[in-house]
Amino acid sequence: MSGIYDSVIVSGGKGMLGHALADALRKRGVEPLIVDREECDITSRQQVEQLFQEHRPTLLLNCAAHTQVDKCEDEQELANAINGDGTGYLAEASKEYGTYFTHFSTDFVFNGQSDRPYRPDDVTDPLSAYGKSKLNGEKRIQSVNPGNWLIVRTAWLFGRYGACFPDTIVKLAKAGRQLSIVNDQIGCPTYTVDLAETTLDLVERKAKGVFHASNLGIISWHGFTEAILRAFQINVPVASISTAQWLAIRPKQAIRPAYSVLDCTKTDQLIGRSARHWQLALDEYAAAMAEADKH
């Protein structure tokens, strides 16, 4: 597809989602420029300007972010510099160069008090420094208004090429560590492969504004843990604990929303399909990891 794909940059491209986006683009015959902090520190307006001047992107897929939720509590300035200011600089440059700016945000912009899946236009009220910094980034994009902008909020991301919840659980289980997982935080796991395909489908339909994208299905972290162990054929017990019990053990943990299921109806209607269930995605991920271990 010409036009949008003439010059594509994936910022934060060496991370888990960046890898998946690069793979999805190549499947569509597009070779993206992969940019990470070493090539362009997005907290530097000068480096961002230089990147755009040199490559004049028609599409920027921004995965650059400080995503370590608990660390963000201690590194709030850094989180805001990357997730807020850096996002703003990319939006400004996108406006100047007429770039279609696609940015990824999070379910953590919500407070978790809803009794139904969150829609893109629902009121935001983040509980954590991470959530606040990501919402700051969203607001920066909207205030700059680069024209063609797309914010894709997602949740509970997992995939190859990076640290993620399933990877952590498998490593802990294999190391013989006791697993105690919260049972009262509810959400929907999202596979990077599926998120990448959905995002490109949105881009090709020239989506603008805020959209939600996750896999189908609702589960607790405890239930997800049990599913992960089944998928990897690991038979160990998993203790079920409440968030209050977990915070008593780890008081410095960031506060997470109790319920952060995303309503993806708007996305499904535009691209003409629903995402697959997270269990099918998890099975594919487990198979891919098993295959990678052979080599």
- The 10s digit of each residue's pLDDT in 254-264 is 889 999 999 99
- Place 2 in a pLDDT band, splitting at 50, 70 and 90: low
- The 10s digit of each residue's pLDDT in 249-295 is 887 888 899 999 999 999 999 999 999 999 999 999 999 998 887 77
- Nearest-5° Cα angle at 290, 212 to 277: 30
Active site amino acids: 130
Rounded mean pLDDT of the chain? Answer: 93
Residue in the structure block whose two tokens are 């036009």: 3
DSSP 8-state symbol, 12: T
Contacts of 114 (CB under 8 A, 6+ apart): 122, 259
- Predicted pLDDT at 93: 95
DSSP states along 116-159: SPBPTTSPP---SHHHHHHHHHHHHHHHH--SSEEEEEE-SEE-
* Nearest C-alpha neighbor of 275 from the set 68, 88, 117, 80: 117
C-alpha to C-alpha distance for 286 and 280, rounded to whole angstroms: 10
Fold of 8-220+251-294: Rossmann fold (3.40.50)
Pairing mode, if any, of strands 179-182 and 33-35? unpaired
Task: Using a pLDDT cut of 70, give the percent of the chain over it.
Answer: 99
DSSP 8-state symbol, 272: T
